[in-house]
Amino acid sequence: MVDVESTDPDQAPPPGRPPADAAPAGGGRSRGRRTIAVVLVVVASLLAFLAIPALWLDRQALNTDNWTETSSELLENDAIRTEVANYLVDQLYANVDVQGEIAQALPPRAEPLAGLAAGGLQQLADRGVNELLARPLAQQAWETANRTAHELLMRVLEGGGPVVGTTGGEVTLNLQGMLEQAGQRFGLAGQLAGKLPPDAGQITILRSDQLATAQDVADVLDELGTVLVVLALALYALAIWLAAGWRREALRATGLGLAVAGVGALALRSIAGGQVVDALATTEAVRPAAQAAWTIGTSLLVEAATAAIAYGVVIVLAAWLAGPTRVATAARRAAAPFLREPRYAWGAAAAIVLLLIIWGPTPATRSPIPLLALIALLALGVELLRRQTAREFPDATIEGAGERMRAWAAGLRGPR
């Protein structure tokens, strides 16, 4: 913390004491340490910015449970479900001669109408399959298909070789089960039995020529996010330690750096999203589905970026609370009587921890190890604030605070 002393500019300094604006001994070394600290904060903020997308890719692309949960959210979206329904109906028509089946059921004179009837039935099938996909049975089949595909993908990426466990060197999402459910809904189960080719209802996730690159990326991402976070925090801590004489400012710079890293990650998501959606949306009709897929698929990135911003704001507020401004000093004076009493200070801290555990607003508050680190930092901050207020207001008591509150309330009521 920085102790601020008031000085009278017209009063000469005591004998043996240098003027207030005199450079301290070793000023060159102090400026050098300050420069190093500033550089460390900038580098740490850059690492924090890089850590956010790295953590997102690790948690999203390499975690089967998260992948499966996200796939469920995708199918719950109307635009995406409509495109999946259209795909399944197109697959049905590609593998079943619907027009021929209708022609066989019509009298000879009406056979020319079979094509028109098949087209009308396809429009009805699009709506019917969309309704089918909203039901629990179809959604469970979708989840199972996505979980199976991701488990296969992870076996390949974790050392199975570029083609081990894949069909033709590809990792695919197999929707044949859902295709059969759609066929049963429209009375085509008999026509589908034994007639579906192996690639019917198969969506390619990775081709054989992409698997080697995917393995390399997975190897890098496996620990990159955690390493970047640890390095960023270590550099922030080192910068604050080096900032002798202006640690509060260094703490504030750390908070600003984290907030900027979070805002930068959100900006990167927005820019990249435009490129990805343009690449996926081959026509304007599928653009809403592509946009929804990007929004849902990057929800974990938004969560991590928002958490970084929130942590940064809290750190900036903590640095302000420890500062020399009139409002901050008044806040410390008001809190001093309660901070001097451990039962009040630590009781309030325990209540905050309990709220964070129940609420779980950020990923760190939902994981044991990061949560313990946050609790340790909170405890350290509370203890430092207790010591600072004890030095500044050694005579503060709860009774005195009560008297000031009563006097303040009486002042609001005015003279009687």
Q: Do 257 and 168 belong together in one domain?
A: no
Give the CA distances from residue 366 to residues 69, 250, 299, 358, in Å, rounded to whole numbers and listed in that order.
Answer: 17, 28, 16, 9
pLDDT tens readout for residues 93-103: 777 766 666 66
What domain count does the chain have?
2
Q: For residue 282, is pLDDT > 70?
A: yes
pLDDT at 228: 92
Do residues 204 and 125 both lie within one domain?
A: yes
Query: Do residue 63 and residue 166 come from a single domain?
Result: yes
Residue 47 in any domain: the answer is no
Beta-bridged to residue 204, according to DSSP, are 172
237-266 average pLDDT score: 93
Residue reference for tokens 């946009």: 291
Q: Which two tokens stand for residue 407?
A: 């006097």
65 and 193 share one domain: yes
**Which pair of tokens denotes residue 285?**
């009709």
**SS3 (DSSP) at 332:** helix
Q: What is the pLDDT of residue 231?
A: 94
Residue-wise DSSP of 188-247: -HHHHTTT--TTTTEEEEE-HHHHHHHHHHHHHHHHHHHHHHHHHHHHHHHHHHH-TT-H
Asked whether residue 361 is domain-assigned, the answer is yes
> pLDDT, tens digit, for every residue of 346-402?
999 999 999 989 998 888 888 888 888 889 989 989 998 999 999 999 988 877 666
Q: Is the pLDDT of residue 283 over 90?
A: no
Domain holding 136, by residue range, is 58-214
Assign 234 a pLDDT band (cuts: 50, 70, 90). Answer: very high
Longest CA–CA span in the chain (Å) reads 120
At 411 the pLDDT is 59
Could you tell me if 345 and 382 are in contact, meaning their C-beta atoms sit under 8 angstroms apart? yes
Same domain, residue pair 101 and 198: yes
For residues 343 and 293, state if they share a domain: yes
Whether 71 and 177 map to the same domain: the answer is yes
Give 128-182 pLDDT, tens digit per residue. Answer: 888 888 888 888 989 999 998 888 888 877 765 443 444 556 778 888 788 777 7
At residue 263, does pLDDT exceed 60? yes
Query: Are 187 and 308 contained in the same domain?
Result: no
- Asked if residues 141 and 180 have their Cβ atoms less than 8 Å apart, the reply is no
> Measuring CA to CA, which residue among 166, 200, 168, 198 is closest to residue 183?
200
38 pLDDT band, cuts 50/70/90, is very high
Q: Based on the domain organization, do 201 and 285 belong to the same domain?
A: no
223 within a domain of the structure (yes/no): no
Select from 173, 196, 214 the last residue of a domain: 214
| Confidence grade of residue 207 (pLDDT, cut at 50, 70, 90) | confident
Q: Are 292 and 391 part of one and the same domain?
A: yes
| pTM of structure | 0.78
Among candidate residues 164, 197, 214, the one where a domain is terminated: 214
Same domain? For 285 and 181 the reply is no
Q: Is residue 1 part of a domain?
A: no
Q: Are residues 265 and 329 in the same domain?
A: yes
Question: Mean pLDDT, to the nearest integer, of 307-327?
Answer: 94
Residue 131 lies in a domain: yes
- Please report the pLDDT score of residue 309 as a whole number: 97
Residue-level pLDDT at 382: 92
- DSSP structure string for 61-115: HS-HHHHHHHHHHHHHSHHHHHHHHHHHHHHHHHHS-HHHHHHHHS-GGGGGGHH
| Chain centre distance of CA 190 | 47
